[in-house]
Structure 1
Amino acid sequence: MIRIGRHEIPKDLFLFLIISALLGVVMAVESTSLANRLYEDLNFTVMQRSFLETPRELPGLLTVLFIGMMNGLGDMRIAAVANILGGVGLLFFGLSPNVYSMVLISIVIYSTGQHLYIPFASSIAMSFAKGEQYGRRIGEVQSVGNFAIIAASGLLFLIYHFFEVSYQAVFVIAAICMVMAGILFLFLEARTVKIVGDKRFVFRKEYKTYYILSIINGARKQITLTFVPWLIIDIFQQPVTTITGLFLATCLINVPFRPWFGGMIDRRGERFALRLEAVVLFVACIGFVYAKHLFPFSVALWIVGGCYIIDKLMESASMARATYVRRIAKDAGEVSKTLSMGLSMDHVISMFIPLLAGFAWYAGGAEGYRYVFFGGMLISVANFFVASRLIDAKLPKK
């Protein structure tokens, strides 16, 4: 046990919280600086940015295969390998010159490590939960990472605003943090709840709603991750400090919001949370499409910034998909395998959406970006109706 003030927490949980903080730094750097480095340092166009996403998302499609191959290592060691690999890729990205092939290779290496770890982040956090409070525990762990993101993004904002600092230096620091997180996983003991299980792959008809939601999420996330930042950088011609400031504001709100959202999932169920996500995305896309046409530039920028924030907040809905699987799983050992299967399905569509959306943006000329967010509205409608069919696992099935 580790004593912090009057409180004692298990050593493994303490180490996992440190890991979450280190990965929070990585997330801050990626979210605030990756798109700007591609646009400012490497002079990427929207089509080049879009083409980069297909190979970048390929590791996500192959996640279930990679995890199955490493099944014997156990969750903690797989998480260690994933983060060390991701850190190496991030280091290469930070040091890559303006050569498309080198940027592509480094991004794919980073993405492989990142996607390998994604299904384990929630399952490991849930292994520390007491009783059935899975959503609350995920929210608490993510809040620690969020504090680190706030500190890192706040520091980045000050550095970018007042000093001359290269993107290369920023990404090298992030790479070191990710490698350190991977090393710390080697010191975590196996949990009493077996997460890895004996099966390499899990595909059951009982999880079909989760699989469909994962596929829809693959399309939905590209709006937030790829095209919203590009809208702000390219169409509104904003510097890195704008993206950093918006991301910092999102993280500050997330401090109370994530635990509240996790608790709401426990109270109201996953269906309510995922329908809320769909409604918020629809509203945000309306802002992205019409703000520049209906309002003066400065007002439109504030509206788009607000839509960016509420859209980013809904990334918390990933907790609802994870807790849904955990609640209906007959065997705790199936959780991370099912989440990784869903992640692979997610990436089937997320590999192609950027190509279609990027072409629509490019072919549409100055107004092409609007077609991307019209598509986002359709995605949100599909998400709403599929989530409406979901039966909350906490409730008795009729």
Structure 2
Amino acid sequence: METPVPTLFKNRAFLLVWMSGLSVMLGFSMFFLSVSWFIVDVMERPAVLGIVMMSVSIPRVVMMIYGGILADKIKKSLIMFVTNFLQVLVMIAMITLFINDWLQVSSLIIIALVFGFLDAFFFPAVSSMIPIIVRDNELQRANSLFQGSTEMMFIIGPVVAGFLLTVGDFTLTFSAAAILIAISTVLVFPPFIKDPVPAKRTDGKSALYDLKEGLNYVRRSDLHRTGTFTIVIINLFMIGPIIISFPLLVSALGGGPLELSLLEGGLATGTFAASVVLAVWNIKLRRGRMVLFSLLGSFLLFFLFSQAEVFTLLVVLTALTGFLAMFVYLPTVTMVQEKTDKDKLGRVMSIITLAASGFEPIAFGLISFLVAAALPIQTVLTFTSAAGLVLGMLLIWKSPAFRKMD
């Protein structure tokens, strides 16, 4: 007889995974802001920023599906523990390079590649663990709580990193980020989580077969197929461009670390606020329609963002864009988790995670190329927001079944 799953706030496994997510996201947000500002301000090579960010994303794209296959076969907490531990070692190596003045473009690219490789295993594990350790009727609330509070770390992280860069140097921010990732590693120590070990398979099927099975599973379902396309569009034409635009806009408009942290904090504030609303609301009806029309609204706001040149207005528009973007992402993920067979969750969530982050290298590379060709960043953002708006309208037209889904 199976042990009943405790309610959300009495669920020890969920609470540990949640606290681990808070710690690691706070560390990541501090780390990435520091690296971005190091490249733009210290190295004075803004075009390199896109290359470094691509270096994070490319191995994530290549390995993400295999990360999902692995999550269906191996204890998920073990995957999270090992990847976090290895990231701590990478951070220590990076701090050593910086202290000795050896941190160059080549070493930053290598570090970014390793981080991206490890992320490809971490995120399918955590996203497929939550549906297993919480009750089905609490799944959207758990997703909203986890996503919203971790997004809150992207409000706190840039502000903390900006403050540490003001009173100290990059050694301080890199070290603080490493400590936070180490705390996350301890929290997901497998004996603490006690998540179930996936049943051993005796059919002898290869990883390639598992991959094909997962892709066919997504392709045959209107929900999975349209949901994946929705997440691809918003990440390729909005999230990727807006993330890489922050340091470039700050540099172009004569700002500093504070303005950069405010922009990143604005995006995180909007996504956090939306997550709180979704956690409280716990909407179950007409989610398909809400997702698609939120997609259009977010691109309209992003277009306005591309036209603004005042920091205060940019921060407000960033927050509003992030708010609506979460009304696209969170309900889509929850709908997919609710309607996916448990033995395929790792593979399906790896495809969703790939859609959420795997197309960012294309955005990073394209925008870096256009900026290097002396095209203003505002012009580039205008093109991407317009393209996303058109694709969003096309998706609504072509997806009548998804619009009717609860």
Measured against the shorter chain, the TM-score band is 0.7 to 0.9
| Equivalent residues of 2:64, 2:124 under 8 A apart | no
The match for 1:236 is: 253
| Equivalent residues of 1:86, 1:113 under 8 A apart | yes
The 5 Å alignment of 1:68-83 reads 68=69, 72-83=73-84
Do the aligned partners of residues 69 and 236 (structure 1) sit closer, same or farther apart at CA in structure 2, a change above 3 Å counting? same
* Structure-1 separation of matches of 2:154 and 2:305: 26
Q: Shift in Å at residue 282 of structure 1?
A: 2.8
Q: Shift in Å at residue 22 of structure 1?
A: 0.8
* Structure-2 separation of matches of 1:141 and 1:68: 23
* Structure-1 separation of matches of 2:396 and 2:404: 15
| Equivalent residues of 1:360, 1:369 under 8 A apart | no
| Equivalent residues of 2:125, 2:346 under 8 A apart | yes
Q: Shift in Å at residue 236 of structure 1?
A: 1.1
The code of the aligned residue for 2:131 comes to: M
Match status 1:225 vs 2:236? no
| Equivalent residues of 2:53, 2:361 under 8 A apart | yes
1:337 pairs with one of 347, 355, 360: 347
**Cα shift readout 1:312-367 (whole Å, capped 9, x = no counterpart):** 334533323311211322x12212311212334566643333222222223244x3
* Structure-2 separation of matches of 1:253 and 1:325: 23
TM (norm. structure 1) is: 0.81
Q: Which runs of 5+ in 2 are unaligned?
A: 1-7, 202-206
Moved more, 332-341 or 63-72: 63-72
The code of the aligned residue for 1:310 comes to: L
| Equivalent residues of 2:295, 2:324 under 8 A apart | yes
Match status 1:116 vs 2:151? no
* Structure-2 separation of matches of 1:390 and 1:132: 26
The match for 1:183 is: 186
The match for 1:246 is: 263
Match status 1:49 vs 2:49? yes
The match for 1:297 is: none
Do the aligned partners of residues 28 and 77 (structure 1) sit closer, same or farther apart at CA in structure 2, a change above 3 Å counting? same
The match for 1:305 is: 315
The 5 Å alignment of 1:285-304 reads 285-288=303-306, 290-292=307-309, 300-304=310-314
The match for 2:4 is: none
* Structure-1 separation of matches of 2:32 and 2:401: 34
The match for 1:327 is: 338
Q: Which runs of 5+ in 1 are unaligned?
A: 1-6, 293-299
1:173 pairs with one of 169, 173, 176: 176
* Structure-2 separation of matches of 1:272 and 1:33: 36
Match status 1:127 vs 2:132? yes
Moved more, 350-359 or 151-160: 151-160
* Structure-1 separation of matches of 2:265 and 2:351: 32
The match for 1:353 is: 363
Q: Shift in Å at residue 19 of structure 1?
A: 0.6
Q: Shift in Å at residue 89 of structure 1?
A: 3.1
The match for 1:213 is: 230
Match status 1:283 vs 2:301? yes
Moved more, 96-105 or 306-315: 306-315
Q: Shift in Å at residue 44 of structure 1?
A: 1.9
Match status 1:12 vs 2:29? no
Match status 1:318 vs 2:297? no
Where 2:308 maps in the other structure, the secondary structure is helix
The match for 1:4 is: none
Q: Shift in Å at residue 274 of structure 1?
A: 4.3
* Structure-1 separation of matches of 2:199 and 2:316: 40
* Structure-1 separation of matches of 2:343 and 2:112: 31
| Equivalent residues of 2:233, 2:388 under 8 A apart | yes
* Structure-2 separation of matches of 1:212 and 1:245: 30
| Equivalent residues of 2:22, 2:153 under 8 A apart | yes
The match for 1:29 is: 30
* Structure-1 separation of matches of 2:255 and 2:169: 18
* Structure-2 separation of matches of 1:238 and 1:382: 33
Aligned length, in residue pairs = 375
* Structure-2 separation of matches of 1:394 and 1:124: 28
The match for 2:391 is: 382
Q: Identical aligned pairs, as a percentage?
A: 11
RMSD of Structure 2 on Structure 1 (CA): 3.2
**Cα shift readout 1:19-75 (whole Å, capped 9, x = no counterpart):** 1221232243145433212211232222x2222333321122121124435754221
* Structure-2 separation of matches of 1:131 and 1:51: 41
Do the aligned partners of residues 256 and 230 (structure 1) sit closer, same or farther apart at CA in structure 2, a change above 3 Å counting? closer
The code of the aligned residue for 2:53 comes to: E
Moved more, 98-107 or 254-263: 254-263
| Equivalent residues of 2:85, 2:182 under 8 A apart | yes
| Equivalent residues of 1:84, 1:182 under 8 A apart | yes
Do the aligned partners of residues 320 and 42 (structure 1) sit closer, same or farther apart at CA in structure 2, a change above 3 Å counting? farther
Where 2:137 maps in the other structure, the secondary structure is coil
| Equivalent residues of 2:301, 2:320 under 8 A apart | no
The match for 1:136 is: 141
**Cα shift readout 1:191-237 (whole Å, capped 9, x = no counterpart):** 46x8799684311222322332343244132112212x133322112
| Equivalent residues of 2:299, 2:386 under 8 A apart | yes
* Structure-1 separation of matches of 2:53 and 2:156: 28
| Equivalent residues of 2:131, 2:139 under 8 A apart | yes
Q: Shift in Å at residue 251 of structure 1?
A: 4.3
Match status 1:106 vs 2:111? yes
